[in-house]
Amino acid sequence: MAPPPKEPPKTFAARWAAMKNLPPFLRMVWKAAPGLTAATILLRLLRALVPITSLWIGKLIIDEVIRLVALDGPETLTEWWSSGLTGHLAWLVALEFGLAIVSDLLGRLVGLIDALLAERLTISMTMDLMAHAAELDLEDFEDAAFQDKLDRARRQAAGRMTLMGQIFGQMQDIVTVLTFAGGLIAYNPWLVVLLLVTLIPAFLGEAHFNSRNYALDFGRTSERRELDYIRRISAESETAKEIKIFGLHAFLADRYRALSERFYRERRRIAQARAGWGAAFTAIGTLGYYAAYLWIVGKTLSGTITIGDLTFLAGSFQRLRALLEGLLLSFSTTAAQALYLDDLFDFFKVTPEIISAPDAIPVPDPIRQGFVFENVGFRYPGATHWAVRDLSFTLHAGETLALVGENGAGKTTLVKLLARLYDPDEGRILLDGRDLRDYDLASLRAAVGVIFQDFVRYNLTAADNIAVGRIEARDDRPRIEAAAERALADRVIEKLPSGYDQMIGKRFANGVELSGGEWQKLAIARAYMRDAQVLILDEPTAALDARSEFEVFERFKELSAGKTAVLISHRFSSVRMADRILVLDRGRIEAEGTHEELMEQPGRYRELFELQAAGYR
């Protein structure tokens, strides 16, 4: 069940509280690749010590050069070298050179490991997201607010890789800052205090504008999903025909432009304010830097510190200022990205309501009695009217039951309840005398094969399009071919250039598009591939011609013998084969019986049958 929608944080404390997301995020990084994570931390710690070491060696080189110049020794470099006076200086230069090589090598290794770690993290987070989504209820996916939450979570799973590098970079910079700060404190602790005071305004400003950007992104999730939707349907093969015939390009382009322009104007206002305040904050920081620089110069002129000390302090202060400024702004950015992590972890907080009980039992095999609906009522979340109400009937084991009714009568809802995609709000459903909730959910789903009217057209091979009905048997080609033969899909597949290995659909290269009826035969084959105890077909022949429909139902009648089957169809020529027919109207059972029994009594079934039959005369 999804928690109630949250509002973006408005106070600084609330925004900073989002930093709580960093520890679980780092645990996700560690889980994705422990070895790579440990390696990047170790290498960054080593790299963090390079700047202060390099600067200190530079100070020693300058002091040594000044000492040698004061000796009034040889005039050429060769003579200096021959004199033996430059041995210490040579070692210092060689050490600085070696340190530069090591620094470059460490940088390249860190870049390589971070790139590999980012890939592993993307894979791990995406798989976690997919696994959690698979556990959630159908109710969640039919809720617009949940779709916004899912969209934000997907973006974070794919877009938070920079945060990982940023956090590790901050760890490295903190160590470097501590080394530089230690050097400055040894000379004058107030230099560090001055530096911090002048940088805090810039940090607070960045934190403010980052939170404004997050609030904008959060508040516009629905519009952003609409932008993505418009962008997708305006250039897809499935929609190209209607867009051209109906002349929809201008309409879609205008809608996209209106939404994107609104985003642009709001983002521009934030960017302009950020640039203006940023310039003022930078000026404050620069003023603080030059105040400290004057102190260092004064101490050098008074002879309190050496020229080498001057270069070390000036370099340390400049580097520390840049590091602290970057670190504080980086912390602000990290806090902003931690806000975005809220979206990811909020998704993982969504819990399913339809789950197996701790003491759940497997579905009996075979089913002996069947299903019993006892005063079942259900309405969709947020709906004011009942989808079905007061449903009481029995689906006997081995019986073929047809559901008939106009659109919105509750036929597909009844099927969803039977497969426990939803639980009733009223009443209960029994299977062999026990509540459906008593059974293990995976066992129940494995015992039921459903092909919905809006079946998925997978852009996979023909074999895989059938194998999804029982994906664990994907490598069982004889079973796939048998399912295709039962659904008459083998006739479709034998015409494909690569047969069962042919890619279906036009999304990928070398894909072959099928007609609606051909797709439907593949979908029916999935039901036979599942070989479930309960077979449910929801409008299975809607896209088939009359001859194909007759053949499919003749085959279905033959292959469903001994199985429990539910058939939904608007075509009365199809439902006549059922053992019993339920007529639904506005979520309630209006009548039931065989075709002959229903035709003998006045009512909706006879009326609809005669209307449909008249169309064929």
431 — pLDDT class (breaks 50, 70, 90): very high
* pLDDT tens string 34-81: 999 999 999 998 888 888 888 788 878 887 777 777 776 666 767 667
Q: Write down the residue that tokens 């159908």 correspond to.
A: 138
* pLDDT tens string 234-261: 766 566 656 665 566 777 788 778 777 7
- Please list the residue range(s) of the chain that carry CATH number 1.20.1560.10: 12-349
Q: Which of 154, 100, 97, 95 is nearest to 129 (CA)?
A: 154
* pLDDT tens string 99-138: 889 989 998 999 899 889 888 888 888 888 888 888 888 8
Residue 146 contacts residue 114 (beta carbons within 8 Å): no
* Of residues 114 and 215, more confidently modeled: 114
DSSP 8-state symbol, 424:
-
Q: What is the pTM of this model?
A: 0.66
pLDDT at 378 > cutoff 80: yes
pLDDT at 590 > cutoff 60: yes
Mean pLDDT over residues 507-520, rounded?
Answer: 82
| DSSP string across 270-318 | HHHHHHHHHHHHHHHHHHHHHHHHHHHHHHHHTTSS-HHHHHHHHHHHH
4 — pLDDT class (breaks 50, 70, 90): very low
Tokens at residue 141, please? Answer: 């996916």
How far apart (Å, rounded) are the C-alpha atoms in residues 581 and 350? 39
CA distances from 214 to 129, 451, 514 (A): 22, 42, 44
- Please list the residue range(s) of the chain that carry CATH number 3.40.50.300: 370-614
**Fold assignment, 12-349:** ABC transporter transmembrane region fold (1.20.1560)
* Superfamily the domain 370-614 falls into: P-loop containing nucleotide triphosphate hydrolases (3.40.50.300)
* pLDDT tens string 255-313: 778 777 777 777 777 777 777 666 666 666 666 666 666 666 666 676 666 776 667 66
Angle among Cα 17, 22, 23 to the nearest 5 degrees reads 110
Residue 568 contacts residue 402 (beta carbons within 8 Å): yes
Helix (H, G, I), strand (E, B) or coil at 150: helix
How far apart (Å, rounded) are the C-alpha atoms in residues 255 and 467? 40
Residue 388 contacts residue 415 (beta carbons within 8 Å): no
* pLDDT tens string 343-353: 778 888 888 88
Q: What percent of the chain has pLDDT over 70?
A: 73
Rounded to the nearest angstrom, the gap between the alpha carbon of residue 229 and the centroid of all alpha carbons in its chain is 16
Q: What percent of the chain has pLDDT over 90?
A: 13
Strand order in the sheet with 388-396: 388-396, 370-378, 426-431, 434-435
**Burial of 358: CB neighbours in 10 Å, binned 0-12, 13-18, 19+:** exposed
How far apart (Å, rounded) are the C-alpha atoms in residues 63 and 51? 19
